[in-house]
Structures are given as C-alpha cells and as structure tokens.
Chain A
Amino acid sequence: MVPRYWYNIVADLPEPLPPLIDPLDDEESRIALLVRILPSRLIDEEYTLSRLIPIPERIREAYARAGRPTPLLRAEGLERALGVSGRVRIYYKYEGALPTGSHKLNTALPQVYYALLDGAEEVATETGAGQWGLAVATAAAMLGVKATVFMTRSSYERKKPRRLAMQAMGATVYPSPSRVTEAGRRALEERPDHPGSLGLAITEAIEYVLGNPKRRYVAGSVMESVVTHQTVIGQEVLQQLPEEPDYMVACVGGGSNLAGFTYPAIGMRLRGEGFEKTRFVAAESAAAPRLTKGSYRYDGLDTGLVLPLARMYSLGKDYVPPPIHAAGLRYHGAAASLSLLRRLGLVEAVAYGQEEVFEAARIFARSEALLPAPESAHAIRAVIDIARRAPKGTVIAFNLSGHGLMDIDAYETLSSRIVEGRLPEPTGTRR
C-alpha cells in the first residue's frame, strides 16, 4: 500500500538542525525571498514540527498510478556473480520502475501540485543528468502546468535521450549556463566553455522564476521537504524487507535518494525501535566528494547566492565538478539533515571514480539483467565492496534509484575505454 504519510526525520534528530541563514551583511533577507520562489505548501513542510506529514490524497493516487509501491527484489544473480551466494543476501529497492525511470517523481508530483495550488502557471528547475528534469516535466504534463528546465551544459550535450523526453513532455530545456538569465550570461562571459554545475543551474532557474510571479521553483534535492517526500521509499522498504539489514546503501547527490531510502529506518534507530546494528552508507562520486572530502559549514545552496545559506557538508558553492556521466551526483553540498547525520557518525560515506563505478554497473547488468543509472551504480559499487568482504549471514539492502536506459551514451562512451584501462579520472575546479 502507498504510505499515508511522509516521515520528517528532523523531529527525531539527535541534535537540532542548524537553520538556514542569511549572510550577515545582507540588508534584505534571502529567506524572505523563498515565498516568491517556492510553492507555499512546500515551505510549510520545510518548517514543521510534525514527525509525520499527511500525503495529499491526490498525490497518493498519483503515486499508485505511477507504480508505487515499487518492488523490493533479491539480487540473487549479483550474489552468484560475486561468489557470495549462501553467505550474503542482497536486496534492492527498484525505483527505476517508476515511469520516469528514477525516484525523482516522488517529490516532483507533490511540488508541482503545490505550485498549482498557489495558482502558478509554470514551474522551473535545474537538472544534471536529467532524472529530475524529466520527473518535473512529467509531473507538469500530468497536472497541466508548463515546465522549464535548466540542464547543466555538459549533460545537455551528452544526455540527449532525457533532454528529448523532457521536450516531448512539453518542457522547455535550456543548457546551463544559458543566455536566458543574467547569471548564465555572466558565467559564459567568464568561461565560454563552462560545463555547467547544479549550483549555477539552480541560480538560473531561480532568477527565471523571480522574473514572473506566475512561476514557481521546484527543488530536486537538499531541502528537508524534498528529502521528506522521498521517504515513501524507505517506508515501503520497512514493510517489504524480510529481515533487518546489516547495511543500507544508496548513492548521494544532494541526498534525497539516500535519505528517502534510509531515513525511516534511521528514525527507528533514533527512537530505539530497531535497526541498531544497521550501517547506513552513502556512495558518492569522487568527482564531487562532498561527504568524504568536503567541510561541514555554512555555504550557499546555489552558486549565485540567491538562496539562503545552509550548514552542510560542502565543497564550496563555486566548485565546478568535472562533466561525469553520473551528472546527478555533481552537486557541491548535501542536505542539512544528512550532513548532520554524517557529522554524528550515523551515516558513513565512500567515494568512487567513474571506472570502478562502471565496472560495478556492468557486473550488475549482466547478473541482474537490469541496466542501472550511472548514479545508482555508485551504490552498487559500494554493495559489491561490502559483500566481498562481509562475513557469513550479512544482509545488504540498497536503493537502485534509477535505470540506465536513457544513459546509454555513458555506456557507449565508457565501456571500451574502461576495458582497455584508458579512462582518465576527472577532477573538479574552483571558479
């Protein structure tokens, strides 16, 4: 059954969540600007004391139509391929079963619905690999709202299938940096070959929204309300798992995927209701290693500092990650609640390069007959590493956040070079 509530972990955190703040010297408040940017009901969910947030009936129906609950599968093929059959049991939640091929629809639907409740005629957002952009385009098409997507330029050029799918749904897609906004034009002047970054694309989308009161911004990750929407995944997992896992693993961009998968279980742990032995593992890209190499501090959510500052693990708002294929993992920061859990040691983190990630993706594709998205393959990499060294009886659960059928360009580009050992690892830059 589709859950009736989203779970807000803030109510159970071991320490209070540091608030969003304005830069000290600002005469005006960026926090106050949120009312012009975000759907009002999303803001309310961002600032609620409630542990459980009722899911509007219209969204529950949409979730059901979209295929929720998504399946929890036993990865017996992977267990055999790794030679751990009978020793390690691996389960995965398959969010790629949703119509847009990833978990992102879980929050796109309510956010677009909330924008509609505000009388908005258009929603705008940013996207990396296009999973989030496609989810927004789909939700907008379902609910009858126009969608505009700023897609990081490197992905715009490489991820043609998702771009075309967004456009087929009726969305307008701009490469970011674009010439549509002042922020984009400025970035292009500084660096004409700018590959784009999620932080910059966010700034562009927000500037675009502020240009017309009938527009609303919809957020793909990082915000607590977005993270909360994704907890439908983890709540279903609690119903579906036949046994309590030793590890729960998911990939991390801004953090909503991992949070959605693990927070209901972490919440039980924090309330003393179970999951005492479970280790929660975040798998991120070595190209944007915020949780493993970033610092815990107040930083901008977007490159242009239009939004307030959040305390999070960050590589710096100006960090420009290299154009990797797992473009959804290129964000410079992580959700505040996830960052706090990481700082407190309740969530562990590992970072992987493209080569080892795609090797894991190939193992999974051949053993499970399912092509994972490059982002999700980071989680698979971590699962493989854990499984190979795990003692007998270990149970691992991970979130397969999306399929890779629209990332076939990545497999085409990388597979031969990986085999030949010629794939250089990318490195990021600071502007």
Chain B
Amino acid sequence: MALSRPGFSVYLTIGFPEPARFPQALEALEACVDFYELGLPTARPKYDGPTVRASHRRVVARGLRGLEALRLLERTSVGKPFTLMAYMEDYAGSLRGLMEAAASAGAGCVLLPDLAFDYPGELDRYVEESERAGLRPCFFASSRFPHAWLQRYAALDPLYIYLGLQPATGVELPIAVEKNVRLARRLVGDRYLLTGFAIRHPEAAAALIRAGADAVVVGSAVLRALEEGGVEEARGLACSIHRAVHSAARGAA
C-alpha cells in the first residue's frame, strides 16, 4: 500500500455513529479522502480526546469492539486505502492475531498510539509482527518527543509517521504546530509525515502542508459533524479540507 503525497485522511471509529450507518458514512466521504484511518473500538481510548473517546464509548455500548469490528468492514466496500488504529494495551498478548486480522482486512498498517509510551520495549516486536503479516509499520509521535526516537522511526521504513500536534485528539491549545512540523520534517527526512489532532479548518490543514507535512488527518471534527449534522455536513467539511490540502501542495510545488 502506498499513500499519495499530499494526502488527506479522515479518522473514523469503526461502527460510528451507528454500526448500521457506518458504511453510509464511509461511502459519503470517499470522494474527498485519499485514505482512511479506522479505529478499532475500545473501552480504553486513553490517549484520545473527548470526541473520539465518546465515539468509542458509543460503539462499544452497541456491543461492537476490537477485532469484531473488522466484520463490519467485510460487509462494507471501502473504496480507499485504509490503516487501522488500535491500542496496544488491548492486544499486548495477541499482537500477531491483530496484525494478521488487519492484513486480512486489507489495512496498510496498524497504528498503536500507546506503543511508544507504554510499551517502548515492544517496538521491534511490533515491527516484526507487522512485516510478518505483510504490513508496514506506522508510528505515532507526540509534539514532545525524543529526537532519537523520530530518527529511529524513520530508519524503520514506515508507511507513515503520525505526528500528534496537540496534547489529545480534538483538543486545540496555543501550540506552534507548524514549527514542530518543520522540526519533525528535518528529523525524519523524506519519510511520510502524517499530521493530526484538532485540525478543523481548511486553512489550518493547508498551513501544515506548507510547513512540510505530507498529509493531514481529521478525526474529531468529522465525528462531530457526523453526529450533529449527518453525513452531508461531514462530507462538506472533508471536501473543503481535501481541496485545501491539495491546493496547498500545488502551491508549494
């Protein structure tokens, strides 16, 4: 699986807003995303912000969680490449099963946001299990992160390095995110740099591309739009950011 440069991705928790309506949401967004990031529903989305946490709670309350959610993907035509997001905490004892299931479902990689923070000694095992299943690794980094780790990520030929710009998904604080993107870019060389957290507007997404990001992912804003305005509102938001990302890249070229 290869990702386009620039790229625009939407994060969705699998099964949100309702398991029955999830395929419709995917289909509606398809024309305006380059790839999806899909979250396996979990009871403990500990590093996520309030909107994504609530989406997990809601889906889990409907009885869908973990790898069971992949069955929903089997019944859905995902028209774009996708990667999965899961918490290592849920799969520490069954990492191989997770990777095999992800590969079987057609994912490009499995992003484990808690891997570096809670299981730093498991990084190599994660890479091995990814490759064994035919996936590439992908890594999460935060806006306060050791430089040597970013360089270590880059050396492992990942599908992408995801830089979380803010302290949590959907939470916007006054942080010089573009400066962090420029620094991350210097540290990871030409590796695919995906940026996300609290991006709500086309202008903000375009600025990140101009700062050196390869791609932008939007989660909380789209989840809120789905919840409050339905698929059309979510689609409108996604399309406006998609346009901004691609025109920013053209301008930068």
Contacts and interface: CB of A to CB of B under 8 A. Distances in A.
Given A16-B117, A21-B168, A31-B49, A49 B144 contact: yes
B50 A48 contact: no
Contacts, number: 113
A341 to B, nearest CB: 12
A31 B117 contact: no
A40 B144 CA distance: 16
Interface of A: 8, 10-22, 24, 26-29, 31-32, 34-35, 40-41, 43-44, 46-51, 224, 308
Contacts of A50: 179, 183
B171 A31 contact: yes
B173 interface: yes
Contacts of B47: 19, 21
B43 to A, nearest CB: 8
Given A10-B145, A32-B168, A49-B180, 15 more contacts: A14-B148, A16-B142, A17-B144, A19-B168, A21-B46, A21-B168, A26-B50, A27-B50, A29-B49, A29-B170, A31-B49, A35-B174, A44-B176, A47-B143, A49-B147
A49 B146 CA distance: 8
Given A29-B49, A48-B143, A49-B184, A16 B149 contact: yes
Contacts of A22: 49-50, 53, 168
Nearest to A27: B50
Contact of B167 (A10, A12, A31, A51): A31
Given A10-B145, A29-B49, A31-B173, A18 B54 contact: no
Interface of B: 44-47, 49-50, 53-54, 116-118, 120, 141-149, 166-168, 170-176, 179-180, 183-184, 187
A15 B171 contact: no
A47 B187 CA distance: 17
Contacts of A34: 167, 173
A155 B167 CA distance: 35
B81 to A, nearest CB: 27
Most B C-beta atoms less than 10 A away, residue of A8, A26, A31: A31
A49 to B, nearest CB: 5
Contact of A16 (B120, B166, B168, B175): B120
Nearest to A9: B146
B143 A24 contact: no
Given A19-B167, A21-B47, A49-B183, A43 B175 contact: yes
A429 B103 CA distance: 52
Contacts of B45: 24
Most B C-beta atoms less than 10 A away, residue of A19, A26, A28, A224: A19
